[in-house]
Amino acid sequence: MAISPARKTAFDILLRVESEGAYVTDLLHEALGPGVRREDAALTTEISLGVLRRRALLDFLLERQLKKPVARLDFPVLTALRMGLYQLRYLDKIPARAAVNESVELVKRARKSSAAPLVNAVLRRTVAETSLPAETLIPANLPPAEQLAILHSHPEWMIERWLDQFGDAQTIQTLEADNLPPRLSAVVHHASSRDKVFSALAKAGLRIEDGALLRDAFSVNGGSPSHTTAFREGLFSIQDEASQAVPLLLGARPGDRVLDLCAAPGGKTAPLVRASGTSGLVVAADRHTHRLRAMDAHFRRIRLAPVSLIELDAARPLPFGALFHRILVDAPCSGTGTLARHPEIRWRLSVENIRALRALQIAILLAAVRQLAAGGRLVYSTCSLEREENENVVEAALARSPGLRLASRETVVSELQPHLVSGVSAESLIDSSGFFRTLPGEQPCDGFFAAVLDK
């Protein structure tokens, strides 16, 4: 029996995510070029991301039939089982026969033919219970965090932290949002080209909606916007709305010297260049040469005015003689606010990772503060939901930096409000302490945190 191109590609991608530590979105972008049929691209994406999002629940349900831990299976066999069960439980339009038979063929293709009868038998036994709500299959005597960890496929340690920080309702809302396809948002680089962009995307068969938060944003679905002429011409870029909002908090003005630390992939740099104008200076820095090259290519695509790109370690003293009026620190972080978009992260993280990141984030922020001019402004941001990476880092920097202060909530609200769509209040995005915050499920975007600091 032939294996469909979509299932074959998804299987290979999932193996590489595990064996190479690769990121699923990178592999999907690499595999799903313009020559791939739209239907195949959609199914490959659905299976690859869906299996990673629902991994813990799939494994729990498989173990009910296997009577042994899934960890004892060869990974190609486990991957075929996960893919088959995901299709049976979540993809109503896929015939059960196709899901089962092609999973068996994937095992044979991976040279694990001896496991083919096992895959066939296990998946056929699961068919009978795929219509049952998953929560009815989880033992009621398990602790609440463990139940949620299985049902919503997140690490138990992460759920325990979120329950403590956000409470039951918000945690469940976030867990549910993490397991749904995220809104694919983009930004128009020049308001005058908005109609042209929308027309070009519509002609390509894509569906467009206005931004949920920002005036310059929009969302798109029904295909890959990066394969369109409008994208290649640099008229728009793909970027989550929360990410788009962060650089707006800096309030960069014409003539400002602006430093963008940890700048790759460059989405937050572009609005800073436009805001500072031809009389300003923008320096974008990153630690990795290949990311700087990618940024340069991105800036060329969108025809951005010259930007000074510098390779440096932002955790060390910065090599600049001049001070900057505006500094953006988009710190490396755990990414727990992006688990819908990057589901593999949840299975790689540990508490120790977060503690190590906190130390790095404090070092980067303190180095940036020393480079900030009097009267200047700094924005510290992450796409993490963790207090250690957010409030605690800011508190540590404030304690060690005389003259640095947290901007008032009113200041942050007034900076952001002009950029929001009608009907959205900046006060809904700024908490009582003056921190910018979005949460998956609460807003239709990734989870971001930002603190505005003045000197």
**Which sequence positions are flagged as catalytic?**
383
373 three-class SS: strand
Which residues on adjacent β-strands are paired with residue 372? 324
Here the tokens at position 22 are 């690769």
Closest among 104, 85, 101, 87 to 43, alpha carbons compared? 87
Which residues on adjacent β-strands are paired with residue 443? 440
- Which H or E element spans position 80? helix 75-90
Q: What is the DSSP letter of 433?
A: T
Contact in structure between 63 and 69 (CB atoms under 8 Å): yes
Query: Residue 281 carries which side chain, given as an amino acid letter?
Result: L
Here the tokens at position 85 are 């069960």
Contact in structure between 257 and 322 (CB atoms under 8 Å): yes
Q: List Cα–Cα distances, 123 to 57, 100, 317, 356, 384, in angstroms.
A: 15, 6, 57, 41, 37
- Mode of pairing for the β-strands spanning 281-286 and 308-311: parallel
189 three-class SS: coil
Residue 296: Cβ within 10 Å count:
15
- Which H or E element spans position 59? helix 55-66
140 three-class SS: coil
Give the span between the Cα atoms of 454 and 250, in whole angstroms. Answer: 10
Here the tokens at position 272 are 């800073």
187 three-class SS: strand
Give the span between the Cα atoms of 97 and 117, in whole angstroms. Answer: 15
Task: Measure CA 108 to chain center.
Answer: 34
